[in-house]
């Protein structure tokens, strides 16, 4: 029974008490969303960093439709299927890590990575190595383990009693990278250090904080010197967002464990993978059940989701995706140059296809009223932009047109009226 005046859907990251409108979208194409009354909205954040090429890519949609009539679901414990085999082979070829473990969201890919890391140490006779090192301001998902390795704050304060302890290195601010290196070095040198998990080049939910490839390379080198497993969470940065297929590529880094989700299907189906190097896999390999990696979920490697991801790999191989990314990157650079001249806007920054900026405002936290006012402003302008506190960013699908992107840049500039007023 519905409750009068209360929605049946409890929306994520939404305070229903604010009574903000919740528009209904009927269809999507490219970078456009269409409401039920036909209004077009520009999807400037790829529907939460997921849609890479554009909505409803015909090739990916066709692969989903085709697979749905052949094999819709299969238990992956002890059984296998062609879409999973093709996808795993494709991922291994692309990323240089030989083993692929499937799951269904970025959060679970992170949970799997942490379990692999601790399993590695326990199975190799070093069970005391069980501390996880993380970076300040990180976000790795909303399940308990993923929250534990992410920044603590208003989002997870209520669950603090459930979160496990981690060791944190400071964010590598420009000019103070040495502080991060020294902290990482000291923590890696401890006898109980198991792994370091980090978002390469861009800390997304933490505020689109960026650091250069050389810093990533140095952090990976510190971990390697101490035998600490290096886990790259490329759930957001993967699939071209930072300009290269993986952000790690720019630093010449191959992680020991790699988490991918979001863009793996081009954004059409929920799917995630955790890739592991030979040592991590071999630590779980035994002639008996003793070292088995005990993790699964019902939809592990769902065939329809895998077929979408196989089609995504084909799109990357056969369509000019890298050229689209280069074009978008250049247009974002033009937009960044314009936005940097706007009073009230600071810290305009770009990494590949991602553009971010901060509105200059005193003491604006996530819970202040700025965020809802910005949301309403962008909604009225017909652009889907969802600020993080006083930080706004664009992370559009790669096929977004020049005019649409210019409208997004203009909306970001015009929103300074809200902080003045």
Ligand X SMILES: *Cc1c(COP(=O)(O)O)cnc(C)c1O
> Annotation-wise, does 290 bind a ligand?
no
How many residues of this chain interact with ligand X, rule: CB under 6 A? Answer: 14
- The neighbour count for residue 31, using CB atoms within 10 Å, is 26
**Residue selected from 55, 57, 99, 140 as contacting ligand X according to rule CB under 6 A:** 140
In the bound state with ligand X, the residue whose beta carbon lies nearer, of 50 and 183, is 50
For 251, phi then psi, to 5°, come to -100, 0
Instruction: Find the helix or strand (DSSP H, E) in which 88 lies.
Output: helix 82-95
Interacting residues with ligand X between 90 and 129 (CB under 6 A): 105-107, 110
In the bound state with ligand X, the residue whose beta carbon lies nearer, of 239 and 345, is 239
E strands along 110-176, which residues? Answer: 131-135, 167-169
Interacting residues with ligand X between 215 and 254 (CB under 6 A): 233, 235-236
- According to the binding rule CB under 6 A, does residue 200 interact with ligand X? no
> Annotation-wise, does 344 bind a ligand?
no
- According to the binding rule CB under 6 A, does residue 139 interact with ligand X? yes
Minimum CB separation of residue 256 from ligand X in Å reads: 17
> Annotation-wise, does 262 bind a ligand?
yes
Minimum CB separation of residue 231 from ligand X in Å reads: 11
In the bound state with ligand X, the residue whose beta carbon lies nearer, of 338 and 388, is 388
> Annotation-wise, does 233 bind a ligand?
yes
DSSP state, 200?
S
Exposure string for 357-372, b = 16+ CB within 10 A, e = fewer: bbbebeebebeeebbe
- Residue among 105, 76, 100, 78 nearest 88 (CA): 100
Distances (CA, A) of 280 to 80, 120, 291: 22, 6, 11
Per the structure block, which two tokens stand in for 118? 């601790």
- According to the binding rule CB under 6 A, does residue 204 interact with ligand X? yes
Distances (CA, A) of 159 to 152, 185, 308: 10, 30, 35
**Residue selected from 199, 218, 256, 404 as contacting ligand X according to rule CB under 6 A:** 199
Q: What is the dihedral of CA 141, 146, 148, 153, to 10 degrees?
A: 0
- According to the binding rule CB under 6 A, does residue 352 interact with ligand X? no
> Annotation-wise, does 138 bind a ligand?
no
Would you tell me the crossing angle of helices 58-68 and 303-318 to the nearest 10 degrees? 150
Minimum CB separation of residue 146 from ligand X in Å reads: 6
Residue least distant from ligand X (Cβ): 106
- According to the binding rule CB under 6 A, does residue 147 interact with ligand X? no
> Annotation-wise, does 148 bind a ligand?
no
Distances (CA, A) of 314 to 54, 60, 63, 141, 224: 15, 9, 11, 28, 34
CB 22, CB 376: distance < 8 Å: no
Would you tell me the crossing angle of helices 321-339 and 402-414 to the nearest 10 degrees? 30
Interacting residues with ligand X between 386 and 405 (CB under 6 A): none
In the bound state with ligand X, the residue whose beta carbon lies nearer, of 46 and 105, is 105
In the bound state with ligand X, the residue whose beta carbon lies nearer, of 12 and 161, is 12
> Annotation-wise, does 107 bind a ligand?
yes
- According to the binding rule CB under 6 A, does residue 261 interact with ligand X? yes
Question: Which residue ranges make up the site for ligand X (CB under 6 A)?
Answer: 105-107, 110, 139-141, 199, 204-205, 233, 235-236, 261
List the binding residues for pyridoxal 5'-phosphate: 106-107, 233, 297-298
List the binding residues: 48, 106-107, 139, 233, 262, 296-298, 386
């Amino acid at each position: 029974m519905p409750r009068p005046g209360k929605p049946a859907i409890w929306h994520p990251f939404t305070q229903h008490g604010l009574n903000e409108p919740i528009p209904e979208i009927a269809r999507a194409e490219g970078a456009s969303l269409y409401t039920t009354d036909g209004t077009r909205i520009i999807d400037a954040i790829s529907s939460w960093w997921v849609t890479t090429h554009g909505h409803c890519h015909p090739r990916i949609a066709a692969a989903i439709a085709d697979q749905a009539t052949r094999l819709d679901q299969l238990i992956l414990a002890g059984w296998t299927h062609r879409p999973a085999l093709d996808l795993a082979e494709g991922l291994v070829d692309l990323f240089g890590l030989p083993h692929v473990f499937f799951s269904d969201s970025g959060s679970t890919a992170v949970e799997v990575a942490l379990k692999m890391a601790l399993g590695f140490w326990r199975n190799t006779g070093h069970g005391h190595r069980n501390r996880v090192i993380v970076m300040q301001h990180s976000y790795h998902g909303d399940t308990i383990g993923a929250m534990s390795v992410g920044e603590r704050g208003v989002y997870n304060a209520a669950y603090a009693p459930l979160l496990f302890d981690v060791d944190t290195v400071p964010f590598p601010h420009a000019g103070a990278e040495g502080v991060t290196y020294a902290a990482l070095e000291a923590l890696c040198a401890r006898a109980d250090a198991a792994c370091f998990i980090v978002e390469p080049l861009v800390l997304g939910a933490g505020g689109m904080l960026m650091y250069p490839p050389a810093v990533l390379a140095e952090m990976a080198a510190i971990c390697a010197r101490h035998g600490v497993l290096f886990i790259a969470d490329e759930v957001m940065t993967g699939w071209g967002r930072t300009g290269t297929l993986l952000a790690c590529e720019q630093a010449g880094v191959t992680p020991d464990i790699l988490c991918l989700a979001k863009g793996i299907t081009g954004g059409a189906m929920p799917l995630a993978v955790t890739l592991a190097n030979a040592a991590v896999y071999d630590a779980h390999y035994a002639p008996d059940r003793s070292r088995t990696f005990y993790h699964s979920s019902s939809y592990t490697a769902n065939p329809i989701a895998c077929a979408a991801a196989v089609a995504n790999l084909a799109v990357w191989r056969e369509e000019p995706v890298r050229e689209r990314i280069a074009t978008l990157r250049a247009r974002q650079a033009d937009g960044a140059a314009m936005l940097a001249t706007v009073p009230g806007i600071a810290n305009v920054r770009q990494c590949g296809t991602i553009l971010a900026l901060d509105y200059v405002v005193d003491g604006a936290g996530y819970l202040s009223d700025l965020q809802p006012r910005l949301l309403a402003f962008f909604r009225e302008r017909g652009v889907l932009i969802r600020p993080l506190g006083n930080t706004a960013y664009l992370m559009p699908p790669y096929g977004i047109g020049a005019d649409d992107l210019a409208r997004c840049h203009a909306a970001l500039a015009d929103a300074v009226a809200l902080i003045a007023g």
